[in-house]
Structure 1
Amino acid sequence: MSRSTQIRHLVADLEKAADVPVDAAYGERGRRWELSWSNGPTPDTMKTHLTKLAQRAGLDPALFDLSRIVQDNALALQAVRYLRAAPTGEDPYAYESALAWEIERAARDTDHPDRPLDEREAALAARLLAAEGGYTTPRSLADRLLGEGLAALLDDGLEQERPGERAWAAEYLTARYAATLTTPHAAGPADHAQAWRRHLLTAPPGALLAAAAADPDAPAAVRLAALTLAPAVRAELEAALAEADAAELGLITALRADGSAWAQIGRALGTTRQGAAQRADRLTARTPPPPVNASLTGR
């Protein structure tokens, strides 16, 4: 089998392994083959595939140079993904160069950087690239996203009522009330308006429910969205209450084990010794026992 035929077979196998088209060109001056592809695996991943396949074919991997082109659609997708996952707080993106570097790094270090994780990511990336006119750079993307944020890429879908869909309810209410919320954001100290505009991070369900309930001019869509979040808020409160009950019962149990009198415990709880004992009984009745360690039971 001729060398050129071996190379063709190698490239075909490499395309299957990497799941991307690969171009092969022979450089007469350097007497080496250059393998190039768009998006697809990182050069390190491709080198791993190449080394394995070349050795199997009896070819020296050192005969090949690898070159990957990261296209504009991949840059846009990685920009969207990075901002959706980025933490809020003290804004590290005060300068576009910092965000541009993160976008470039994400595209460089990601296998198949053009493949979206979900439909929302794909739609946002497509709109971002269209807003850029179909051609972009990391710095241009950073400049646009710092100025407008991901929220500017949303279509009018939030205005379409989807009661029962929690993701819609949280986004719809956050878009409406983010600028007026004063509660701390779960992801950090950044205000809700910036967290939503830049990262599409929604506000806590409890804050959104309270804002909608306090809005005398709320339309039906807002009230339906708030009702959609109500079960999640209730579940969160019930979980917090159960955690507080367990902690309180643990403290009472530890104090009693250390010899503290019911009268002392009652004073701490703002009740009588009898009230403290009754409180402990009620907590015991509604607090589930801790899980049994299987290693201690021999199972």
Structure 2
Amino acid sequence: MAGGRSDKLRRLAWALSEQYGLGTREQIEPQYDGRTREWTFCWVDGPTVEQVKRAARKEQPEAVEGLRYERRFSSAAVALGAVRLLRSGTLEKDQYGAVYFSDMTVREALRLVPHPRPGDERERLLVEAIVTEANGDHGTNWASEYAIVRLVRERGLAEFLRRSGAELSPIEALTARYVSSRGSAAWREQLEPMTALEAFAAVQADPGATPEQIKAALALVPRLHAELDLAAEALQARGAGPSAVASGSQR
């Protein structure tokens, strides 16, 4: 009977791995714990636990009774989760303006994300730079989730973006050069750039600005106009607000 269930679970694991297009390093593996007499489906990245559980129950409802599911994350997925958490702007800051998050926070953020992969080449390069630094000279997938998250939390993203070789946008290049101490933490940690107005003014005030920096500042002119328009609208609303209320109450 046990052998029959073992065969069913192995076939099911293979079928689900095929269904979700999982490669050799991601595929679902059935593991048996002789001490607890429990079977567990284990896999890396790939679909979410709920997706696999739902598909498994649909295919073999009797064989998967009591089956446990354990989804693990590769170093790249953990680094990606940390990058996206930092860039999301949803993390709370302490009294010193620093953000804190743990490997548990990252796992929770990835829990409902199927097949966590970089969205573009720039994000891939950033993740690769983080993982390379975390592994050091110890080989692939050496670093723990805790070590990767701690590295990102303590160093921030700007250092790894620079190391990655990814091309910076004009405003990012100017931020990296001119960001003030007031905004340095936001740039260093979360890649939050200066405003177009701040960046343009910084180049304008710098007599030693290079041709490349001047070109980057000029590329911001359309964005600068948009920021000024929004600022003007906000000021107009502030100026008109109290008087509008007062005139309305006098009628």
Hey, what's the Cα distance between the residues in 2 that align with 1:139 and 1:28?
Answer: 29
Asked if 2 retains the 8 angstrom alpha-carbon contact of 1:195 and 1:201, the reply is: yes
Hey, what's the Cα distance between the residues in 2 that align with 1:257 and 1:234?
Answer: 33
Q: Percent identity?
A: 27
2:69 aligned with 1:78, yes or no?
A: no
2:71 aligned with 1:68, yes or no?
A: yes
Normalised to the residue count of structure 1, the TM-score between the two structures is: 0.65
Asked if 2 retains the 8 angstrom alpha-carbon contact of 1:36 and 1:69, the reply is: yes
Asked if 2 retains the 8 angstrom alpha-carbon contact of 1:38 and 1:70, the reply is: yes
| Amino acid of the structure 1 residue aligned with 2:189 | R
Distance 1:256 1:127, change over 3 A: closer
Structure with the greater alpha carbon radius of gyration: 1
Hey, what's the Cα distance between the residues in 2 that align with 1:30 and 1:212?
Answer: 66
Q: CA RMSD in A?
A: 3.4
Normalised to the residue count of structure 2, the TM-score between the two structures is: 0.75
- Matched residue count: 237
Residue of structure 1 in register with 2:121 after alignment: 119
2:151 aligned with 1:144, yes or no?
A: yes
Unaligned runs of 5+ in 1: 161-166, 181-190, 261-299
Distance 1:105 1:171, change over 3 A: same
Distance 1:54 1:93, change over 3 A: farther
Hey, what's the Cα distance between the residues in 2 that align with 1:113 and 1:216?
Answer: 49
* Alpha-carbon offset, residue 29 of structure 1: 6.9
Hey, what's the Cα distance between the residues in 2 that align with 1:19 and 1:106?
Answer: 23
Distance 1:31 1:221, change over 3 A: same
Residue of structure 1 in register with 2:214 after alignment: 223
| Amino acid of the structure 2 residue aligned with 1:62 | E
Residue of structure 1 in register with 2:179 after alignment: 178
* Alpha-carbon offset, residue 239 of structure 1: 2.9
Unaligned runs of 5+ in 2: none
What secondary structure, in the 3-state scheme, does the structure 1 residue paired with 2:68 have?
strand
| Amino acid of the structure 2 residue aligned with 1:117 | G
Residue of structure 1 in register with 2:105 after alignment: 102
* Alpha-carbon offset, residue 130 of structure 1: 0.7
* Alpha-carbon offset, residue 241 of structure 1: 2.4
Hey, what's the Cα distance between the residues in 2 that align with 1:72 and 1:214?
Answer: 43
Alignment of 1:175-214 (within 5 A): 175-179=176-180, 191-214=182-205
Distance 1:153 1:17, change over 3 A: same
What secondary structure, in the 3-state scheme, does the structure 1 residue paired with 2:109 have?
helix
Asked if 2 retains the 8 angstrom alpha-carbon contact of 1:177 and 1:208, the reply is: yes
| Amino acid of the structure 2 residue aligned with 1:238 | D
| Amino acid of the structure 1 residue aligned with 2:144 | T
What secondary structure, in the 3-state scheme, does the structure 2 residue paired with 1:68 have?
strand
